[in-house]
Amino acid sequence: MSSLFPHLLQSFVGPSKVKAYRSFASTPLSTVKRASGPSSYNGDENVDMDWDNLGFSPVPTDFMYIMKCCRDENFIQGKLTRYANIEMSPFAGILNYGQGIFEGLKANRKEDGSLLLFRPDQHAIRMKIGAERLCMPSPSIDQFIDAAKQTAFANDRWVPPPRKGSLYIRPLLFGSGPVLGVGPAPEFMFLTYASPVGNYFKQGKAPLNLYVEEELVRAFPGGVGGVKTISNYGAVMKELLRAKSQGFSDVLYLDSVNKKYLEEVSASNIFVLKGDVISTPPTSGTILPGITRKSIIEIAHDLGYQVEERRISVNELMEADEVFCTGTAVGVASVGSVTYKGKRIEFKVGENSVCQALGSTLVGIQTGLIEDKKGWIFNIC
């Protein structure tokens, strides 16, 4: 393991901010220039879409950003290109051995038309950690942020109006070069594309109904559950489809050793509230260290709640006052019920809930309605 990995991990999970990149937030884009001066947003400039009924599905936008490099080299310079399909060898490392990781972050439009990115530096650090685990080079933090900013700026007309949704940006890093024996690919591609999105779940903002899976597991100690690899998500699809066919919103997984401690939902972290104490499972290798998770912990502290990162048994979950999930895609989603061993337990939701207060604060910061005092917001234009 290189000396870089522990340093990045400490920076990612520790309380300190990555201050070195704050100044980068206000620098001009290197390859995309605004034709006229300051932002002059007009809703009529956007594409013809039903913003009030925007879901979470693929909507191809105008541009994507691509960088390539060879093994044992560094990414140097990428470029914007028109959105299109990409070609790869059938021997590509991503296709044969799943050598790939991805991130997801959002750009939001303020009332004045300007665009904001939420904590892209943290996503860049997490990608570096994942790339280290999967033996891939990764973009520098500056390169990652610049790619996200350029992608959002170039697809400006696809960013929903204020309070109508977000532009979901998907940075993807994978082995694009050909390989036959098990080993790292000889060439890698960093690709950033985007899609306008609304609510992640089809029921919109309605409370989630979770099903606790007792047999299948999402991750195991020593595996890759703690990094955002593509392989983490294919493994949850079968149980997720089964749960949805029975009327559930999503699946909550337990640990692989004891089958009694909470891990995470298919694509989000989970929190439990009892009294004035908010608890969430620790990111100790099998649970993804979510950026939204990390942000909600800080916000909860600011609002006066005690927050504990510890193991939580499923029996303790069933006695909670509130339960909610967090993630870039899902935001902060309240859980209305959890079903375990055929028993359904309901939790407090709606107005005056802690979940609602935390979620409103987060969205306020992300959209510029609440002053960012933490250095989380990066201005695009």
Active site positions, annotated:
228
Find where tokens 């959105």 sit: 83
CB 210 within 8 A of CB 265: yes
Residue 151 to residues 82, 148, 218, 313: CA-CA distances in angstroms? 11, 5, 32, 42
Q: Which residues, 6+ apart, have CB-to-CB distance to 220 below 8 Å?
A: 256, 257, 286
Q: How many CA atoms lie less than 13 Å away from 374 in the CB half-sphere?
A: 21
Provide the residue type at 143 as one letter.
Q
Integer Cα distance of 6 and 129 in angstroms: 9
Pairing between β-strand 208-212 and β-strand 250-254 as defined by DSSP bridges: parallel
Max Cα separation, the chain? Answer: 61
Query: With contact defined as beta carbons under 8 Å apart, do 352 and 223 qualify?
Result: no
Non-local (6+) Cβ contacts of 353 within 8 A are 322, 334
Q: Which tokens is 349 given?
A: 């939701």
Instruction: State phi, psi for 224 to the nearest 5 degrees.
Output: -120, 20
DSSP designation for 49: -
Q: Measure the CA–CA gap between 331 and 312, rounded to whole angstroms.
A: 22
Q: Token pair for residue 174?
A: 């994978």
* DSSP characters over 114-147: -EEEE-HHHHHHHHHHHHHHTT-----HHHHHHH
H/E segment holding residue 97: helix 93-97
Distance CA 150, CA 131 (A): 22
Distance CA 356, CA 358 (A): 6
Angle 82-87-89 from CA coordinates, rounded to 5°? 160
